[in-house]
Amino acid sequence: MRKIVILTGAGISAESGLGTFRDAGGVWSQYDLAEVATPEGFARNPALVHDFYNARRANALAAHPNAAHEALVRLERDWPGQVVLVTQNIDDLHERAGHRHVIHMHGELARALCAACGAHWPAPEKMSASDPCPECGTRATRPDIVWFGEMPYDMDLIQRHIDSADLFAAIGTSGQVFPAAGFVMQANAAGAETVELNLEPSELSGMFDIRREGPATRVVPAWVNDLLASA
């Protein structure tokens, strides 16, 4: 049975009230990404970066999964083949909807990372650079988030999944950030069918075989229904 690889971006959580990055009024219109989403920005002003992610963590905790997250849970449960979900999102709405296996390629708000020894642990609601690492004791705590210039998580695993995919779907992502923006090209090269689900055309729309346009809470459940009906 067919293997489906799904990439999600900020658009799938937009209707849960979490802001996207590059849409009008998005996160990058309010914050300078060089100051809050790079290792250099963190070195310059760790308190500013922690404030930014502490606020994002509080927002994510207050948000609820929507019909698009829930539809993907149904797909994971009912699809007779393999479903691999890769998200660029750092919220946990896929897991809270009930998704069992999620690859968080850009890290997670729910985890802390020691900049000294690389240990990971569950994030407190409010994190600070002076929190000691539970493993080495160094006070160099940072959010476990992949910033610009850093290597996303699980790249080998993701690439292996895309190389063996029969269907690749990108949901609610603008296709402006690499390496995720390159996944559709890799999926096309592997012979997978490719589908984009987005509110509007993205930078990469021309590379997909099929496009479904509209809000994620409408187009994702309809796409999942069609897939399950065809199984």
Q: Report the run of H or E that residue 75 belongs to, with start and end.
A: helix 67-78
Backbone phi and psi for residue 164, each to the nearest 5 degrees, phi listed first? -110, 15
Nearest-approach distance from CB 102 to ligand BJW, in angstroms = 14
Residue 86: which of 184, 222, 17, 176 has the closest Cα? 184
Distance CA 124, CA 94 (A): 20
Radius of gyration (C-alpha) of the chain in whole angstroms: 18
DSSP state for residue 100 in the 8-state scheme: S
Site for ligand BJW contains 71 (CB under 6 A): no
Site for ligand BJW contains 13 (CB under 6 A): no
Nearer to ligand BJW, 73 or 216 (CB): 216
120 part of the active site: no
Q: Which residue is nearest to ligand BJW (CB)?
A: 11
Instruction: Report the residue from 5, 6, 18, 37 that binds ligand BJW according to the rule CB under 6 A.
Output: 37
Site for ligand BJW contains 11 (CB under 6 A): yes
Q: In DSSP terms, which residues pair with 83 in a beta bridge?
A: 4
Span from 21-29, 75-83, 118-126, 222-230 in contact with ligand BJW (CB under 6 A): 21-29
Work out the end-to-end distance of the chain between its first and last CA atoms, rounded to an integer number of angstroms. 8
Backbone phi and psi for residue 103, each to the nearest 5 degrees, phi listed first? -100, 115
Give the binding-site size for ligand BJW (rule: CB under 6 A): 36
Span from 43-51, 74-82, 140-148, 184-192 in contact with ligand BJW (CB under 6 A): 140-148
Site for ligand BJW contains 21 (CB under 6 A): yes
Instruction: Report the residue from 32, 78, 135, 150 that binds ligand BJW according to the rule CB under 6 A.
Output: 150
Active site residue ranges: 106
